[in-house]
Amino acid sequence: MIRYLRNRLLLAIPTLLGVATLIFFMLNVLPGDTVETMLRAEGGNPSVELVAAERARLGLDRPLIVQYGDFLAGLATLDLGQSHWTGKPVIEEVMLRLPITLQVAVLSMIVAIAVAVPLGTIAGLYQGSAIDYAIRIFAIGGIALPSFWFGMIIALVMLWSFNWLPPLGSPSLMTDPMRLLQQLILPAIAVGYRYSAILIRMMRSSVIDALHEDYVRTARAKGLRVARIVWRHVVPNSLLPTITMIGLEFALLIGSLVVIEQVFSLNGIGRLFIEAVSRSDFIVIQGIVIVLTVIFITVNLLVDLAYAAIDPRIELG
Amino acid sequence: MRNPFATAVSDGLWTEAPKHSGFLHRYVLGQPLGALGFVLIVAGFAVSLLAPFIAPYDPLATDYGNAVAAPSLAHWLGTDSFGRDLFSRILYGGRTAFLIGVSASFVGCTIGLFVGIASAYIGGWVEMIIERFLEILLAIPITVLALVLVSSLGRNLVYGIDLNLILAIALPIIPKMARVARSQALTIRSQSYIDAAVTLGFSDLRIIFRHMAPNITGPYLVLLTAFISQAILIEASLSYLGLGVTEPTPSWGLMLAGNAFNTAMTAPWIVIFPGVAIAVVVFAFSMFGDALRDALDPKARADR
């Protein structure tokens, strides 16, 4: 177990290094940077000398390879550099914004799993029936509706029918969890619906596959009650592929989160990212991409651990 | 409720042979959702193409005296806060969505196809480098990668179309297609007709283009359709964030951006219709894609 964890973490390092390198060169080789955008925003057409001076101040006039070395050295000490726009350290800004994004992510996953596991199981058990069709149509909706639009619509519906809008401000998980939940539940439903649609499909087809397995026939033949077969044999075996899907499709969840934060004015990492993109603040952009990749890798590692915890046949070696 | 185990028994061998043997008949009967998707795609495409003839108003014409008007006979879907006719804007927005969605998916899938085949065909250290590179790209979420590219590529407007936006959406698709193409190509490479082609002294390019690529057409078409719906969603998201299509070009995502949400508190049509348009097109492409996959690969049936 410990050895497995160590190996997985060691394997993550080259990927992370690759992502860092790729993003760095993607952002720095191509023309245009934040300096011009920034100086333009201050008004007027900046002179060539002014741009050059500003670039020199930010260290952007150094050879690319030196900047790259600097960037990697920073990464090794968890220093993601300073924003060219605000001058604040990126890691500080990210840590400030990360909690809200992680809270929405966890809540969306809870919503998605809580919806997908029962619905997928029912659809699989009653394959071809009216209820199966109803659930499949529900799942198709999750795939077709853009989550940011769905978020707007549920917010509007809440407003019209209950005259209720999510509270503003930034309530903390420790002191005011109810207010936090009120604030985050709509974005979590909007993103979770899309995520659950994928999980429902996976759960449904795994349940159908499991029903055809020999162990189900054996259980049936020895007279086990249907409810017991479903709970003890079909559902646990179908959960495995579904859990894998949770990890694989987590990237999709991150993508939706970036957009949904804008809809609900949540001050998360997604909004920071959008701000950075519109300002061409490359240091912040590369910092956030690295943090998101770390999260993605971590979630997939956790999924593998959960996999081993649920299925005793799997040994992590 | 029916006994859930009934399906386990009455499956497969006992199903009756289809009464109609024509492909179209079988397809429509066996894949009603896919057929519906196909009809919607054709209809949506036709309507966007014919937008100048169908649209009752100029999509860019503002009419402040008539701003935020509710749906009526004059303005079927109402007007936005600039008094622009929503119905006309949705028709023209369809052009943007189809153009960007189809071209981004086409570019991404086609490059991905050849990268995947080349990687499998050449093998050795080239394959290893390509594989590592694709793995790295796959570790970054598709929307995030598209946003990074939008930022680094900047804009490149040609006839009002942002070519760099298409590229930014296309690039994240490449590794996904390449991975599938590579695994298919690895199987094909070991077939005897490839050995025969090599023995006959055909050039590598000829083997790749004439013998390998055509045999991956099935998965290619399936992914192409699937990624059109993804690309349309990403275009809508980027435009919504103000980082995709720019005003005044009509785009469904852009119609939801800015103040649209606040305006919609009293004028819901402003956000409802563009969203429905996105949903219908995405629905159409994903249903058609699913049906195509089932038709081309009976083993991977999703609705079994």
Nearest-by-CA chain B residue for A123:
B4
Cβ neighbours of B15 in A, within 8 Å: none
Residue B2 domain-assigned?
Answer: no
Nearest-by-CA chain A residue for B143:
A255
Interfacial A residues in 33-62 facing B (CB < 8 Å): none
Residue B233 domain-assigned?
Answer: yes
Q: Residue A189's domain spans which residues? A: 97-245+300-310
Give me the residues paired with residue A82 across strands: A89
**A229-257 pLDDT per residue, tens:** 888 888 888 888 888 888 888 888 888 89
B174: closest CA among B118, B251, B124?
Answer: B118
How many CB atoms neighbour CB B24 within 10 A? 9
A214-241 per-residue burial string, b: 16 or more CB within 10 A, e: under 16: eebeebbeeeeeeeebbeebbbebbbbe
Residue A232 domain-assigned?
Answer: yes
Instruction: Determine, for residues B271 and A143 on separate chains, whether the beta-carbon distance falls below 8 Å.
Output: no
**B59-115 pLDDT per residue, tens:** 887 777 777 777 887 777 788 877 788 898 999 999 999 999 999 999 999 999 999
How many CB atoms neighbour CB A49 within 10 A? 8
A166-181 per-residue burial string, b: 16 or more CB within 10 A, e: under 16: beeeebeeeeeeeebe
If you count them, how many residues does chain A have? 317
Q: How far is B201 from chain A (nearest CA, A)?
A: 38
B98-131 per-residue burial string, b: 16 or more CB within 10 A, e: under 16: bebbbbbbbbbbbbbbbbbbbbbbeeeeebeebb
Average pLDDT, chain A: 84
Q: How far is A125 from chain B (nearest CA, A)?
A: 5
**A202-226 pLDDT per residue, tens:** 999 999 988 888 888 898 899 888 8
Percent share of chain A, pLDDT over 90: 22
**A142-153 pLDDT per residue, tens:** 989 999 999 999
Nearest to A18 among B136, B229, B265 (CB): B136
Lowest mean pLDDT across B10-19, B156-165, B233-242 = B10-19
Cβ neighbours of A289 in B, within 8 Å: 140, 144, 148
Instruction: Determine, for residues B7 and A127 on separate chains, whether the beta-carbon distance falls below 8 Å.
Output: yes
Residue B82 domain-assigned?
Answer: no
Residue A91 domain-assigned?
Answer: no
- Candidates A11, A36, A83, A152, partner chain B, best to mutate (most B CBs within 10 A): A152
Beta-strand pair B157-158/B161-162 = antiparallel
Nearest-by-CA chain A residue for B1:
A126
Give the integer Cα–Cα distance in Å for B255 and A86: 31
Question: With an 8 Å Cβ cutoff, is A140 touching chain B?
Answer: yes
Question: With an 8 Å Cβ cutoff, is A273 touching chain B?
Answer: yes
Which pLDDT score, from 0 to 100, does residue B8 have?
45
Residue A154 domain-assigned?
Answer: yes
**A67-81 pLDDT per residue, tens:** 888 888 888 777 777
As a three-state string, the secondary structure of chain A is CHHHHHHHHHHHHHHHHHHHHHHHHHHHHCCCCHHHHHHHHCCCCCCHHHHHHHHHHHCCCCCHHHHHHHHHHHHHCCCCCECCCCCCEHHHHHHHHHHHHHHHHHHHHHHHHHHHHHHHHHHHHCCCCHHHHHHHHHHHHHHHCCHHHHHHHHHHHHHHHHCCCCCCCCCCCCCCHHHHHHHHHHHHHHHHHHHHHHHHHHHHHHHHHHHCCHHHHHHHHCCCCHHHHHHHHHHHHHHHHHHHHHHHCHHHHHHHHHHHHHHCCCCCHHHHHHHHHHHCCHHHHHHHHHHHHHHHHHHHHHHHHHHHHHCCCCCCC
Domain count, chain A: 1
Nearest to A15 among B135, B283, B302 (CB): B135
Lowest mean pLDDT across A101-105, A242-246, A282-286, B62-66 = B62-66
Residue A77 domain-assigned?
Answer: no
Instruction: Determine, for residues B143 and A256 on separate chains, whether the beta-carbon distance falls below 8 Å.
Output: yes
Per DSSP, the three-state class of B259 is coil
Residue B265 domain-assigned?
Answer: yes
CATH number at residue B147: 1.10.3720.10
Instruction: Determine, for residues B154 and A212 on separate chains, whether the beta-carbon distance falls below 8 Å.
Output: no
Instruction: Determine, for residues A18 and B135 on separate chains, whether the beta-carbon distance falls below 8 Å.
Output: yes
How many CB atoms neighbour CB A310 within 10 A? 13
ipTM of the prediction greater than 0.90, yes or no: no
Q: How far is B193 from chain A (nearest CA, A)?
A: 35
**Span B119-142, average pLDDT:** 87
Q: How far is A174 from chain B (nearest CA, A)?
A: 31
Residue B7 domain-assigned?
Answer: no
Asked if B225 and B41 touch (Cβ cutoff 8 Å), the reply is no
Domain count, chain B: 1
For tokens 């001076």, what's the residue? A53
Nearest-by-CA chain B residue for A33:
B152
Residue A87 domain-assigned?
Answer: no
Cβ neighbours of A144 in B, within 8 Å: 229, 279-280, 282-283, 286
How many CB atoms neighbour CB B35 within 10 A? 17
Q: Residue B187's domain spans which residues? A: 93-300
Per DSSP, the three-state class of B182 is helix
- Candidates B129, B131, B148, partner chain A, best to mutate (most A CBs within 10 A): B148
